[in-house]
A and B are shown apart, each in its own frame.
Chain A
Amino acid sequence: MTYRSSLAALMSGIALAAVTAATPAAAQGSPGGTLRLLAKAAAGTIDPHINYTLQYFQINYMLYDGLVTFRKAGDETGFDVVADLAEALPEPENDGRTYTFKLRDGIKFSDGSDLTAADVLASFQRIFKVSGPTAGTFYNGIVGADACIAAPADCTLDGGVVIDEAAGTVTINLTAPDGEFLQKIAIPHAAILPAETPIKDMGTDPVPGSGPYMIESYNPNERLKMVRNPHFEEWSAEAQPAGFPDEIDYDFGLTEEAAVTAIQNGQADWMFDPPPPDRLAEIGTKYADQAFVHPLTAMWYAPMNTNLAPFDDVRVRQAVNYAIDRSAIVKLFGGSSLAQPACQILPPGFPSYEPYCPYTVGEGGSWSAPDMAKARALVEESGTAGQEVTIIAEDNTVSRAIGVYLQDVLTELGYKAKVQAISQNIQFTYIQNTNNNVQISISQWFQDYPSPSNFLQVLFGCASFTPGSDASVNISGFCDEAIDAKMAEAVSLTLSDPEASAALWTEVDRDVTDAAPAAVLFTPKRVDFVSSRVKNFMFSPQFYWIINQSWVE
């Protein structure tokens, strides 16, 4: 496959697209029409308290509302939390342990019922009652959450979520200050649903919401159909703007190849999955004004098991970091228009990000070339050469290619390396479990909300490491008490001294990068390919294309 030509084509195309994008939209679009979206497969349950996928988060932001949400904006302000069902963003009280929200009046669910403080309390209880994926990680700081996690069925959150029906206020008390609390309740897992929503995973049954659209029907083998919510009236353009299309159909089952063709033919308007590499050339040239490329706050990385030889020796982990030619890996991913080399944990454009790269030839904040001499010296010093190393990759083209590349690097460093590719649906949980004795693997991490802890603490904190469990997202098993203490301090300073906290996170980023529990490979970009009918493409850094703000012509 010639990446070079497709890359050049895509680059020129994107340059063109940038020029056209600079001209302001000629006219405001008109409401109406149907958008047809495509995805290779459905993404599971449509219960907003349970689904934890990028694919459905993107639509859940339009179907449901939290007390607060992320601003629906097509620039970096899309990372800001704004008031949604609440009239205003609350000021933290009681040293950051209490937040009081005043609900807006007159908001209705799509079934016509009024949204009240009782619904808010029931929704927070429901997060625990249905064992939501983030119940024990994002919402465990609410007073009474411990009891809810231990015995979900009897969850009350007494003293944690206090409501005043008459005044329409909701007060949330935390056991300790949490500077990220508003971000945590801005994601769809804290969506407010009607109090009578059944206490079970709703699966394929639509749940009423308060957003501009509602789900009419869902069949994971065919289609997710969304129509306008008749009870929606816009209350805040930045939190939950009214949408343009009358109907949004999300169809499942076409391969990526077929999806690209369907969009070219105008039979569909957008695809969720990345276009296959062999089609990038035509997308970048012939269809340049229909393609949009955006960097993501995410990373591809190779976690190394710090509790297994040879990677239990920091010198070996650093050697791997020195030896990897990140530009070669970027080429495997599709070229520099689709990814940029990275060697620190935090992605560019993220809070507390300061360019830092110790694993490169020469000085400077960014990666330029591998330093094989240094890598070899470190391996020699560690005396581990000759050991066997198995790389666990995902069973898809890109991941397997990166695996084979890492095999070459490790072989060159003197190890006996081999690659094993595992079905991509199992690989992520397989590499987390210490029982599988995975030495090094290839994985990705996408942010949940824009906070450094969401990378550093989640992936490299002691609390995220549970030996023998499939849910142990600290894949490296990295646990450094000094770094952990520093992270805790950074978290505690978030509210009282945000600047000091941000500086601490920058320091933690450097410390973790130096300790090399993983080799960060690159920051991926997203390619969105839309049909010629789609106008006003807005891209949120938080949840990607803001689907309902585009109109069809």
Chain B
Amino acid sequence: MAYALAARIGQMALVMFGISIVVFLIFFATPGSDPSARIAGRNASQETLQQVRHDFGLDRPLPVQYGLMMKKLFVTRDLTSFVNRGQQVIPTVTRAIPITLSLVLGAAVLWLAGGLLVGLLAGATRGSWVDRGLMMISLAGVSMPVFWLAEVANLVSQSRFHDTWAFSWVPALGYVPLAEDPLGWFKALVIPWTVLATLYVGLYGRVLRASLIETMQEDFIRTARAKGIGERNVLLRHGLRTSLVAFVTMFGLDFGALVGGGALLTEVVFGLQGVGKLTYDAMQTLDLPMIMATVIYASFFVVMANFIVDVVHMFLDPRVRDAF
């Protein structure tokens, strides 16, 4: 186990190194990406431009620049943005993490509960109108782009029906810290949670239904029924438990990606200044230090999520251990 962990950490370092090189090279291969002139300001004189280029180390060879940037990111931890000068990227990202975590955790609770419910109901009532109805709704949920659904939610709750009894409780867009005002936090996030969870409820429900139906045709289910266990127990104790493997795997990977900033469209539309929004803004303004920090942060979570999923698998299925 310790060896597996060490191997994983080694792999993670490699992945991060590779990703950071790729991001760095893509940035400098983009025509017009040199930030010196944008930092110097419009109509700057050539001398000012040269000074800015020199101050930011942009006149040095690329490998040196890469080394300096990594040193500032990991060793001295004082890397600052190219766009909002003086803004240190590490504290900015760490301050954004609670917002992203609040959004993703809340949505995860909703989509796990929703996905389980939809999958179980549809699997248990296979072929009935309940099953068909649920599957149609799931398909709609999967098909709606999250930013569109979010804008519609805003249109209804913030604009068109904001003054009606149904939505007068909806606070202004933005994040309210949990420690400051728990109720405000909940109110500010309940609509974003629902919107973000919609896609995943549909997706997870469909996956769970499929694997349930497959499992319920296995021999051990027949054995369980032959032993006289009630149908509900067969479904929940035996069928569901085995079907959850795919469900857990998906959850681990999706959750890791979202905590890493994958919920950026939801964050942008709802004005939540989380890691996803930081990434989005940095991409818009070609702010390399910020892109670097968010990408490294995201890759950490994705690799971590993979690792945790593998460990869970190992406990669920002994055959996986040899592959470790």
Residue-wise, chain B 69-88 has the 8 Å CB interface mask toward A (1 for contact) of: 00000000000110111110
Query: What are the residues of chain B within 8 A of A464 when measuring CB–CB?
Result: 43
Closest residue of B by beta carbon distance from A43: B84
Query: What are the residues of chain B within 8 A of A252 when measuring CB–CB?
Result: 273
Residue-wise, chain B 162-195 has the 8 Å CB interface mask toward A (1 for contact) of: 1000000000111000000000000000000000
Residue-wise, chain A 18-45 has the 8 Å CB interface mask toward B (1 for contact) of: 0000000000000000000000011011
B84 and A44 within 8 A (CB): yes
A262 and B52 within 8 A (CB): no
Query: What are the residues of chain B within 8 A of A499 when measuring CB–CB?
Result: none
B80 and A265 within 8 A (CB): no
Query: What are the residues of chain B within 8 A of A134 when measuring CB–CB?
Result: 41, 43-44
Q: Looking at the assembled complex, report how far the CB atom of B29 sits from the nearest CB atom of chain A, in whole angstroms.
A: 13
Closest residue of A by beta carbon distance from B287: A425
Interface bracket on A: 35 or more
Interface residues of A in 183-223 (CB under 8 A from B): 201-205, 219-222
Between B31, B41, B55, the greatest number of chain A beta carbons within 10 A of the residue's beta carbon is seen for B41
Between A134, A425, A428, A464, the greatest number of chain B beta carbons within 10 A of the residue's beta carbon is seen for A425
Query: What are the residues of chain A within 8 A of B31 when measuring CB–CB?
Result: 430, 436
Closest residue of A by beta carbon distance from B30: A426
Query: What are the residues of chain A within 8 A of B37 when measuring CB–CB?
Result: 429, 432, 469-471
Is A280 among interface residues, defined by CB-CB distance under 8 A?
A: no
A466 and B46 within 8 A (CB): yes
B38 and A131 within 8 A (CB): no
Bound-state Cα–Cα, A455 to B95, Å: 43
Interface residues of A in 463-479 (CB under 8 A from B): 464, 466, 469-471, 473
Known contacts A221-B95, A429-B38; decide if A258 and B87 are in contact (CB<8 Å): no
Q: Looking at the assembled complex, report how far the CB atom of B54 sits from the nearest CB atom of chain A, in whole angstroms.
A: 9
Bound-state Cα–Cα, A52 to B37, Å: 12
A425 and B38 within 8 A (CB): yes
B277 and A433 within 8 A (CB): no
B42 and A221 within 8 A (CB): no
Is B228 among interface residues, defined by CB-CB distance under 8 A?
A: no
Interface residues of B in 1-49 (CB under 8 A from A): 30-34, 36-38, 40-49
Q: Looking at the assembled complex, report how far the CB atom of B85 sits from the nearest CB atom of chain A, in whole angstroms.
A: 4
Query: What are the residues of chain B within 8 A of A265 when measuring CB–CB?
Result: 158-159, 162, 172
Of B115-123, B202-210, B233-241, B278-286, the segment with at least 4 beta carbons within 8 Å of chain A is B278-286
Q: Looking at the assembled complex, report how far the CB atom of A476 sits from the nearest CB atom of chain B, in whole angstroms.
A: 15
Query: What are the residues of chain A within 8 A of B43 when measuring CB–CB?
Result: 133-134, 137, 458, 464, 471, 473
A262 and B45 within 8 A (CB): no
Interface residues of B in 135-183 (CB under 8 A from A): 151, 154, 158-159, 162, 172-174
B151 and A257 within 8 A (CB): yes
A426 and B32 within 8 A (CB): yes
B286 and A201 within 8 A (CB): no
Q: Looking at the assembled complex, report how far the CB atom of A454 sits from the nearest CB atom of chain B, in whole angstroms.
A: 10
Query: What are the residues of chain B within 8 A of A152 when measuring CB–CB?
Result: 51
A471 and B86 within 8 A (CB): no
Query: What are the residues of chain B within 8 A of A202 when measuring CB–CB?
Result: 86
Is B311 among interface residues, defined by CB-CB distance under 8 A?
A: no
Is A92 among interface residues, defined by CB-CB distance under 8 A?
A: no
Closest residue of A by beta carbon distance from B151: A257
B284 and A44 within 8 A (CB): no
Interface residues of B in 196-255 (CB under 8 A from A): none
Interface residues of B in 58-74 (CB under 8 A from A): none
A42 and B41 within 8 A (CB): no
Q: Looking at the assembled complex, report how far the CB atom of A387 sits from the nearest CB atom of chain B, in whole angstroms.
A: 22
A44 and B271 within 8 A (CB): no
Q: Looking at the assembled complex, report how far the CB atom of A255 sits from the nearest CB atom of chain B, in whole angstroms.
A: 7
Contacting B40 at CB < 8 Å: which of A131, A140, A204? A131
Query: What are the residues of chain B within 8 A of A52 when measuring CB–CB?
Result: 41-42
Q: Looking at the assembled complex, report how far the CB atom of B55 sits from the nearest CB atom of chain A, in whole angstroms.
A: 7
B273 and A423 within 8 A (CB): no
Is A261 among interface residues, defined by CB-CB distance under 8 A?
A: yes
Is B110 among interface residues, defined by CB-CB distance under 8 A?
A: no
Closest residue of B by beta carbon distance from A469: B46
Bound-state Cα–Cα, A423 to B31, Å: 11
Bound-state Cα–Cα, A255 to B173, Å: 10
Bound-state Cα–Cα, A137 to B47, Å: 10
Is B96 among interface residues, defined by CB-CB distance under 8 A?
A: yes
Residue-wise, chain A 123-145 has the 8 Å CB interface mask toward B (1 for contact) of: 00000000111111100100000
Closest residue of B by beta carbon distance from A264: B159
A204 and B44 within 8 A (CB): no
Query: What are the residues of chain A within 8 A of B173 when measuring CB–CB?
Result: 254, 258, 262, 267
B residues neighboring A (CB under 8 Å):
30-34, 36-38, 40-49, 51-52, 55, 80-81, 83-87, 92, 95-96, 151, 154, 158-159, 162, 172-174, 268-269, 271, 273, 277-278, 281, 284-286
Query: A-B pairs with the 5 shortest C-beta distances?
Result: A203-B86, A133-B41, A136-B45, A430-B32, A470-B37
Q: Would you give 23 A-B contacts (Cβ < 8 Å), ordered by A?
A: A41-B281, A50-B41, A52-B41, A132-B41, A136-B46, A137-B45, A202-B86, A205-B86, A219-B87, A220-B84, A221-B92, A221-B278, A253-B277, A257-B154, A258-B158, A425-B38, A429-B37, A430-B31, A458-B43, A469-B46, A470-B36, A471-B40, A471-B43
